[in-house]
Amino acid sequence: MSDQPREFAGKQATGRERSVDRILQILEFLHGHGEGIRIGALAKALNAPRSSTYTLVNDLMEAELLEMAAEDGRIFFGKKIYLYGLNYLRENPLAKRARKEVDRLAKETGETSEFCTLQNGRYTIIHMCPGTRPFRISSAVGLQIPIPWTASGRLLLAGKTRAEIEEMIAPDDLRLPDGRLIELEQFLAAVDQARSDGYCLTKGLVDAYTQCLAAPIYAADGKVEATICLVLPIDSSEEQNGKLRQRLLESSRTLSAH
């Protein structure tokens, strides 16, 4: 995933606006980077003055939005960010219902279940519940993965034009972890197929041990706004997948707004 900083302010931004934009850049960089970083390295990554970066980071630490590790001086998200995220899951109508449905689905099927959306052009896990089988397939909340690597990604692009999809997909996104390359035309065809089928199953993309079965969650306007999915062992049979697909589609209908 990319952790390149984004530009937020225009050329005519005021000093206050530039500070807000820089704070947003810091938070977004840390999210994409996925781990702590020293302030000097952060300033370099953002191409920002060290002095102002130190000032902003200190302000964010005083507000408990960032924390610094005592052992190595790396800064990362603080406890308040975590609490804000919990509030989102509790109060956002779809996230609140999806959280309960994901937990129910994992308990009923014994498989790892996830609720996912698009965030900054990446497939993002908003909530997950691990399965109950002895060999558990785990994932991580907040994990961002290139869209072409996932079944959910194909559904989340359903309804978008070719030009919109090409703008969202970087060339590196089509390169799987094991080095295999997904051809763009092949991926676009898979998006069309997922839209037509109303679900998507992918096998052995992120690794050789899992397959992913995903169903769309529709907004009131009929567009796919999120997905609910099951992460399955690669040897799950077609018969079992068929049963799980029907159960997953029930969850999809429960969560969809139309």
Domains of the chain by start residue, with CATH: 15-82 (1.10.10.10), 92-255 (3.30.450.40)
pTM: 0.79
Q: Given pLDDT bands bounded at 50, 70 and 90, which one contains residue 88?
A: confident
**Residue among 130, 146, 142, 157 nearest 230 (CA):** 130
DSSP character for 256? -
Taking only the tens place, the pLDDT of each residue in 91-133 is 889 999 999 999 999 999 999 999 999 987 888 999 999 988 7
**Cβ-contact 149, 207 below 8 angstroms:** no
Q: Given pLDDT bands bounded at 50, 70 and 90, which one contains residue 186?
A: very high
In this predicted structure, the answer to whether residue 11 has a pLDDT above a threshold of 50 is no
CA atoms of 142 and 123, how far apart (whole Å): 10
Q: What is the pLDDT of residue 102?
A: 96
Q: What is the pLDDT of residue 6?
A: 47
Taking only the tens place, the pLDDT of each residue in 14-61 is 556 678 889 999 998 898 888 899 999 999 999 999 999 999 999 999
In this predicted structure, the answer to whether residue 135 has a pLDDT above a threshold of 80 is no
Q: What is the pLDDT of residue 60?
A: 94
Q: Backbone phi, then psi, for 46, in 5-degree steps?
A: -90, -5
**Average pLDDT of the residues of the chain:** 88
